[in-house]
Amino acid sequence: MLWSDTQIKSFTMENDGHLMESAIMQTRGVIQDIVVDHDLILVKSCLTGNDSLEIFKNQQCVGLISPAPASFVFTDQRMISLTQNHRHIFSKNIILDTVSEPFDPTLTETPLAVMISTHLKETIDIFDSNQHMLPAYRTFWHEGIYYKILREHITENSIYVKRYDRNGEQKEKILTFNDSPFTDIASVTPSMNTLFTGGARIPIHINFTPDARSSNVFITNEDNNYFTVGQSHTASQWIILPQASSIEFDIHVSESMAASHTIQLTENTQPQESITIYKPIRNQSIEENNGIDIHYDISQQSSETFHYASICLTDFNGQLIHEVLTTDPQGHVHLSLPEISSQTNMFVKIRAFFGDTYRFVESQTGIRVLPDLKKPHIKWKQSFYRMMVGSMLDCSIDIDTQEEITSFIQVYDQDNHLLQTNEKSLSLGVTETTKTLSVLAWVSDASGNTDSIQQSIDVIHPFDFKISDDTQTFDVCLPDVGNSWFARGNILIDSKNNTRFQLTADILSMAHIGNDLLLITGEPALIRLSTQPIQRKDYLKLPEFFHKIIVLNERVYMMNDTMLYEYQSNTRKIIPVDLPTNIGSLLTILPGNDRLILLSTKGLWMLDLEHQLVYSKSGDFSAMAVTANDLYVIDSHSLLVIDRETQSVSQIETNISAERLMVWKNFLFALSGQSQTLWVFDCQNPKQPQFIGKFPQLSTGNVSNAIIANGRLYMGDDAGTIIQIVPYEHLPLVKYQSSHAQGYIEHIQVSGGQGIAAAGAYGAMIFSLIDGHWTETVYPSPFGANIHAVASHRNNLYLLQPDFNQLISLNENYQSSVLYGGEVSNLLILHSDFLVTSQDENLIFIHPKTLENFSIGCNDTIIAMASTGQYIFASTLSNGIIRLGPITTPIHPSEIPQKTVSIHQKPVRLMQGQSDKLFYAIDQTLYILEHNVQSLDFDDSIDCLGTDKGSLLIGVGENIYLLETEKELPQVPRHLLTANYPVTALDMDNQTIIAGLGIHGIAVFEISLLSVNASSSMDFSRQSMIFSSTDDLPLKLNTPEGINSVNYLLDDTVIAKTTTPPFSFNAPVPATLHNGQTFHIQAIIETHSGEIFTSKAYTANVYTQSLPENNIEIELFINNDYLPLPVNIHSAVTSTIYPISHIE
């Protein structure tokens, strides 16, 4: 394994001895050391200033302990560890593997060593009979991995080999060998009386016969003793030849002299070669702690063999300090310098050896070495690359010395005007007139040594926070589409501040269930309210107090400080949920797609719907927020981003404390009532949020209940502060443009701060958002040519190479694999879980994970493709546009319906799908196909199309137009921007537009947030629209970004509400629907900006051949049946096979 910084590269050794890269692993901290133990990789790393232990298995991080233990052992399904301060011992339950392979090591004898081979994945210890561990080294020998023990380290004829597994099981085997000495030298290299040049350094090899048994091999002459390095059959050592006529030396084996040897010597001949030392230059001054870089070139004039070069550092008297041997005739090496107390002169000497006699040429240069003056070094305590208008810029420096120093920080604007200066830290308000900031820090010690650093900051203006004149104090808030519910004490208020209901006790928590509200009150009680009209529907006395309620797929969960309960509405029972024993006190809970996400005083926990623990992350977290793909959690020193699918973790140091995290569009807000501050992070690259703003004095108290609703931020503090988030309107800004031509850009895909462009014969360009700035790289050989279409999904990129007849995939580390081989066109799209390309008249579907593929014929050559929800549209050369679908799971290619939906005089070569709509262009006309066909005319021919949620980009020459697809079709297209060159490809991700400019590379534009939209379309891909009466309706959105709350309707009746991304919900088919009945499903969304959009109505049917048997038992209760109290009627289902969905 090789490692550097935070990356580990793993290699396996092939049978021919060469190394093959097998995996790349990314650690959370900077790697300090690595130990391999069977199938585990134990990594000591530095994470947020602490030594941590990261544990990898099968290339995945399966454990993190921070700070790292001082020592630890595995035993009996536990890991027992000792803390760094040696004060505590901890025992953790873990899953340990027992090694099942039989333990069968073998021993092979060689003249100088014994070689032990065992199973590749085994880790063994080797002892003598006194249980003293023997020095064994893993080595490659005879096309295998062996442990080598030199005979000189073995004092008896038996070896004890032990294998331990982490479950505490031990296996032991005793191996014996012949330890009687037998000295039989086969040859010595070089042979007797060979001629060499005096002053040369040559290798001596003592070769033994296969049946020899030898130890302690060394060479002596009258001046020196040379101990040899033993291999299996050969003992070797370098010796320096004197300036004499000959040299004689003796060979001693096993404490006895075994042979004598003579080498003849000659004087060094006039060299034909020369050595040039480019660096260091003569008399160059170098500080001791920097080391010395030596750049050299050895020119060879003769045909004689160049053996090696000796590169030495000597003191002024010629005494050797450091030496490196190299076989490279030109290059550079780095030598460390010794510690000195005063200025010293030293020499760099290079001697190169040639020919059979090892004649040599040499060169030297002098250097002046200076003592380390311990200069002060400074760094920023936090780095800023962009900062919002209206925020506070806090700058401070860390200085690595305790000595007396002088320092300052200065901030300049774009006109080099000094805005503020201070000694070690400063705070500056960022104004709208400032375009860029330059921050300079300088330090000097008492000796006059200085250091300085400079940071450039772009001033950005995505939106403003404006405190509203309105106020709203509340204890609990629940968003809703077009409305919000606020609880103040025992009073329920809507978003217009109207009192809607008054209870007898304070409201502690609220949740949506269908079109009703579930309230936990301080009686304690659980109350269900109908909202249209508002009235009490049910009441349940609770056995104890709860402070949080959520609904996950019609399942109701309630939480107090220590326990989680599920409320079963059918039986009216409250069932405790088993939680991990070490979970600590519960802080809050969120519903995931199919997960319960809990935050406690000891970390983050995810449970599946069976209440089994599927993921945990220990930490002292104070708040969390979720998006469709990621989970954000924060502690006092860092912000963590956890991928909801893979559980991979990214960490960003923040050094802020927050009680609330909230997502708004592609931004993350962190709120603290204690410091009365709001921090803003840009999440365009969701795995690397970037801090862009600090806004103090926006709250006056507890903000743990703050919420975004109706396009506004309700702080929930003592003053009832309401903050309007107002996007700033500005013209599109050019954020990046390629500096030179790189192929011809044909196709672009961008998502989550990363994109890829197909550049034809040139290959592919990968562009990424790093520290707020876009950079591009060219995907390298051998797959970097003839790429004509691309696609991306989460962390994977897909590249189509029709000239090479293949489709390849790149993972997040840019490791490539071939997904499909065969003839393909230059068309590529994503549809549900499949990549789709074509070949002549066939659509080819490829599953990127299983590599399953199949084809569907369209009876005509396919020239364009697009995906929309359940359908794929294929434009053909002669037969118009064909709609294929609905495509449902399981897929039966021969049964997928096909229908011609449009035939034009010209074939359609430009198509783009978006959720429920198909867009295609012919010449200067854009057509929109949904329920019917609409059109929009432009001044010139349309060259390309691109989409994002709720938006369509149209490229016409150098002009880019924007169509907001959730709104009415305008009569005149909205011109967005003009590029420097004709636009050949387009894509959009939030406020970022990536434009392909043909041979001129790419351009990145940033548009106003006012032009960023959301989509209400639902996702029924792979889903049959025929349901049985016992099915669940899978309610989810196609693109769940930029949305605050969602209502799902069945035939105009709300059946589910959700306010947590990804806004998915499994609702049972209502029992009121009759067999064979047609019904319609719709979604109504409220965006983060407060806009409301309604999706189209999706048609579905209920069909069951026969109703399943179900013996239902039910009890009826009627209480309080006297005036003036209302009659309380409720039922309890005591027996049922299927969930009860409707009771009258």
Rounded CA-CA distance 445/469 in Å is: 53
Mean pLDDT of 697-718: 87
The alpha carbon of 118 is separated from its chain's Cα centroid by a whole number of angstroms, namely 37
Mean pLDDT of 1105-1122: 77
Cα 1132-572-530 angle, rounded to 5 deg: 95
In this structure, how many other beta carbons lie within 10 angstroms of the beta carbon of residue 454? 11
Of 68, 79, 82, nearest to 31 by C-alpha is 68
Rounded CA-CA distance 750/992 in Å is: 9
Rounded CA-CA distance 648/888 in Å is: 31
Which residues have C-beta within 8 Å of that of residue 1024, sequence separation ≥ 6? 886, 888
- CA dist list (Å): 734 to 136, 385, 431, 977, 1005: 62, 17, 21, 10, 5
Of 554, 553, 648, 550, nearest to 599 by C-alpha is 550
User: What's the pLDDT score for residue 1121?
Assistant: 63
Q: Is the per-residue pLDDT at 510 higher than 90? A: yes
Cα 462-467-469 angle, rounded to 5 deg: 140
Structure tokens at 664: 């708004």
* Range in 100-104, 876-880, 976-980 with the lowest mean pLDDT: 100-104
Find tokens 């926990």 and name the residue.
605
Concatenated DSSP letters of 278-332? EESPTTEEEEGGG-EEEEEEEE--SSSPEEEEEEEEEETT--EEEEEEE--SEEE
Of 916, 868, 1091, 1099, nearest to 1017 by C-alpha is 916
Prediction pTM value: 0.70
User: What's the pLDDT score for residue 778?
Assistant: 67
Which residues have C-beta within 8 Å of that of residue 849, sequence separation ≥ 6? 833
Find tokens 């305008």 and name the residue.
970
Reported as a pLDDT band with limits 50, 70 and 90, residue 895 is confident
The string of pLDDT tens digits covering residues 406-461 is: 889 999 999 999 999 998 889 999 999 999 999 999 988 777 778 888 989 999 99
Rounded CA-CA distance 998/979 in Å is: 12
User: What's the pLDDT score for residue 925?
Assistant: 95
936-952 core/surface letters (b: 16 or more CB in 10 A; e: else): bebeeebbbbbbbbbbb
Q: Where are the alpha helices (DSSP H) in 984-1121?
A: none
The string of pLDDT tens digits covering residues 283-309 is: 888 887 778 899 999 988 788 889 999
The string of pLDDT tens digits covering residues 805-858 is: 999 998 877 778 889 999 999 999 999 889 999 999 999 999 998 899 999 999
Find tokens 């020095």 and name the residue.
135
- CA dist list (Å): 179 to 150, 230, 315, 1123: 12, 16, 47, 106
3-state class of 124 per DSSP? strand
Q: Is the per-residue pLDDT at 779 higher than 70? A: no
Structure tokens at 92: 């953790």
With a pLDDT cut of 90, the percent of the chain lying above it is 43
The string of pLDDT tens digits covering residues 1017-1034 is: 999 888 888 898 888 999
User: What's the pLDDT score for residue 833?
Assistant: 86
The string of pLDDT tens digits covering residues 190-222 is: 988 889 988 888 889 988 888 888 888 888 887
Rounded CA-CA distance 741/758 in Å is: 13
Rounded CA-CA distance 699/697 in Å is: 6
Of 117, 170, 122, 172, nearest to 141 by C-alpha is 117
Reported as a pLDDT band with limits 50, 70 and 90, residue 143 is low
User: What's the pLDDT score for residue 781?
Assistant: 47
The string of pLDDT tens digits covering residues 227-286 is: 777 777 888 888 888 888 888 888 888 778 888 889 899 988 877 888 999 999 888 888
Concatenated DSSP letters of 948-1009? ETTEEEEEETTEEEEEETTSPPPSS-EEEEE-SS---EEEEETTEEEEE-GGG-EEEEE--G
Of 833, 860, 838, nearest to 848 by C-alpha is 833
Phi, psi of 221 (to 5 degrees): -135, -170
Reported as a pLDDT band with limits 50, 70 and 90, residue 507 is very high
Rounded CA-CA distance 419/429 in Å is: 10
Structure tokens at 960: 């880019």
- CA dist list (Å): 197 to 246, 610, 629: 10, 81, 71
455 CB-contact burial (10 Å; exposed 0-12 / middle 13-18 / buried 19+): middle
User: What's the pLDDT score for residue 782?
Assistant: 44
Q: Are 853 and 820 in contact (CB under 8 A)?
A: yes
Q: Is the per-residue pLDDT at 96 higher than 70? A: no
Rounded CA-CA distance 742/999 in Å is: 6
Reported as a pLDDT band with limits 50, 70 and 90, residue 784 is low
Q: Could you tell me which residue, 243 or 94, shows the higher pLDDT?
A: 243
Mean pLDDT of 145-167: 81
Q: Are 669 and 661 in contact (CB under 8 A)?
A: yes
Rounded CA-CA distance 477/495 in Å is: 10
Q: Are 236 and 227 in contact (CB under 8 A)?
A: no
The string of pLDDT tens digits covering residues 171-180 is: 888 998 888 8
Q: Is the per-residue pLDDT at 944 higher than 60? A: yes
Mean pLDDT of 689-715: 89
Q: Could you tell me which residue, 83 or 368, shows the higher pLDDT?
A: 368
Reported as a pLDDT band with limits 50, 70 and 90, residue 166 is low
CA Rg value for the chain: 37
Rounded CA-CA distance 744/943 in Å is: 14
Q: Are 150 and 113 in contact (CB under 8 A)?
A: yes
User: What's the pLDDT score for residue 61?
Assistant: 77
User: What's the pLDDT score for residue 6?
Assistant: 84
Q: What is the mean pLDDT of the chain?
A: 87
Q: Which amino acid is at 602?
A: K
Structure tokens at 325: 């041997």
Mean pLDDT of 580-593: 87
Rounded CA-CA distance 607/744 in Å is: 49
User: What's the pLDDT score for residue 1053?
Assistant: 92
Domains of the chain: 2-93 (2.40.10), 106-176 (2.60.40), 185-266 (2.60.40.10), 274-370 (2.60.40.1220), 378-461 (2.60.40.1220), 546-619 (2.40.10.480), 759-767+792-982 (2.130.10.10), 1026-1102 (2.60.40.10)
Reported as a pLDDT band with limits 50, 70 and 90, residue 65 is confident
Of 640, 647, 619, nearest to 688 by C-alpha is 640
The string of pLDDT tens digits covering residues 862-872 is: 999 999 988 99
In this structure, how many other beta carbons lie within 10 angstroms of the beta carbon of residue 1127? 10
725 CB-contact burial (10 Å; exposed 0-12 / middle 13-18 / buried 19+): buried
Q: Are 536 and 521 in contact (CB under 8 A)?
A: no
Rounded CA-CA distance 835/910 in Å is: 19
- CA dist list (Å): 823 to 643, 723, 763, 853: 36, 57, 18, 13
